[in-house]
Amino acid sequence: MTRRAKITSKGQITVPHEIRRALGVRPGDSLLFEQKGSEFLVKPVKLDDPFEKYRGIGTPGIAGGRKGVVRYFRRMRGR
């Protein structure tokens, strides 16, 4: 598959839809550019834990771990 993209004056590029789909990347994901001689490889950066980017999303204002949860409930109860 061969696609072309333009670089903006700010150094940004839009990755064509077919390429994003083939790489399996979505908005917010990262790409790694690796040089091999005079060519560059583009690879998606995969997190070790696919749920890492969602950590803390459901608990705003509560610190992580047991201590954070206990502290939160003590504050709620006025202790």
Domains of the chain, by residue range, sit at 1-46
Can you say how many angstroms the Cα of residue 10 is from the centroid of all Cα atoms in its chain? 21
Domain 1-46 is in which class? mainly beta
Cα–chain center distance at 19: 17
The pLDDT tens digits of the residues spanning 7-58 come to 999 999 999 999 999 999 988 889 999 999 999 999 998 877 777 777 767 7
Cα 64–Cα 69–Cα 72 angle in degrees, nearest 5: 115
Angstrom CA distances, 20 to 30, 35, 43, 44, 54, stand at 11, 20, 11, 9, 21
Side chain identity at residue 79, one-letter code = R
pTM: 0.54
